[in-house]
Amino acid sequence: MSEVSPPSGGLRERKKRATRAALVAAAMRLAAEQGAEHVTVDAISEAAGVSPRTFFNYFDTRDDVFVMVGAESNQRVRDAVRAASPDLTPLRALRDAIAAELDEVEQQQELWRLHAEVLRKSPHLLARSIGAHLADELGLATALAERIGADSPPLSADPAVSPQDEEDRRRALGLYPRLLAAVGTTAVRVAIEHWCLRREEVTFTEVFRETFDHLAAGLPAPSPRGTGKH
């Protein structure tokens, strides 16, 4: 397990990350109190201490602030997968890339709780969130395919990319990178849910480590005493 990395980038980049985080946190608090449909960009911006113009420097639409919560973290994971030592297995490279984000996960547990609450109460945001999750998974699969030298089409950030282009991109990806990306993202989700129920007993880092140990071992059957140490 690699050590948790400190926030990267210079002062400007750290300020941008802090502003984005403040906007997301303000949006989640307001949505939990009032309902997402009643929350405006002006209200979010005021609660975060910035102007509405600044809001649109970070998000294209109001709904994006409720959906794109982990976008920057997901991009850092993809970049880290590509940059990892060639001596690491793809699973280890993925685990270490995600591990660098663990500190942020533990610090933002209340934000993730509010996020889940907001999505449960807003079906259209939940649908958009699922779509964003699938796009992130596809991006991770592409990064893994590049790492192992498999053919993979470049991902475009253009919102005008057609459904057919997306279908062609998925078809071009091999089974292994798609499966590893899906397993990895599911493992993180399950680890977070498991830890949230036991956070007084165990740290998220411990749950995360055990989760990926199970994957690396090929998911052997647990002992009769239980389904895991935690």
CA 57 from centroid of its chain's CA atoms: 21
Start-end of CATH 1.10.357.10 domains in the chain: 69-216
Q: What pLDDT is stored for residue 110 in this prediction? A: 81
Predicted TM-score of the model (pTM): 0.76
- pLDDT, tens digit (0-9, with 9 covering 90-100), for 190-228: 988 888 788 888 888 899 999 999 999 999 987 776 545
Q: What pLDDT is stored for residue 36 in this prediction? A: 93
Best CA proximity match to 67, nearest among 26, 110, 126? 126
- pLDDT, tens digit (0-9, with 9 covering 90-100), for 100-158: 887 776 677 788 788 888 988 999 999 999 888 888 999 999 999 999 886 444 544 44
Sequential DSSP letters for 5-66? PPPPS-HHHHHHHHHHHHHHHHHHHHHHHH-GGG--HHHHHHHHTS-HHHHHHH-SSTTHHH
Look up tokens 């750290």; give the residue.
14
CA 91 from centroid of its chain's CA atoms: 17
Q: Please give the Cα distance from 219 to 40 (Å, whole number).
A: 46
CA 179 from centroid of its chain's CA atoms: 17
- pLDDT, tens digit (0-9, with 9 covering 90-100), for 146-194: 998 864 445 444 444 555 566 777 778 889 999 999 999 999 889 888 8
- pLDDT, tens digit (0-9, with 9 covering 90-100), for 63-86: 999 998 878 888 999 999 999 999
Q: What pLDDT is stored for residue 162 in this prediction? A: 54
Q: What pLDDT is stored for residue 208 in this prediction? A: 92
Start-end of CATH 1.10.10.60 domains in the chain: 9-61
Q: What pLDDT is stored for residue 9 in this prediction? A: 57
Question: 50 is written with which tokens?
Answer: 């910035």
Q: What pLDDT is stored for residue 171 in this prediction? A: 79
Q: Long-range pairs for 153-161 at CB < 8 Å and ≥24 separation?
A: 159/60
Torsion, Cα of 19, 136, 134, 174 (10° steps): 180
Residues 100/5, Cβ–Cβ less than 8 Å: yes
Q: What pLDDT is stored for residue 196 in this prediction? A: 78
Q: What pLDDT is stored for residue 157 in this prediction? A: 43
| CATH number belonging to the domain at 69-216, selected among 3.40.109.10, 2.60.40.10, 1.10.10.10, 1.10.357.10 | 1.10.357.10
pLDDT grade for 6, boundaries at 50, 70 and 90: very low
Best CA proximity match to 153, nearest among 127, 177, 180, 126? 177
9-61 CATH fold: Arc Repressor Mutant, subunit A (1.10.10)
Look up tokens 């939990």; give the residue.
32
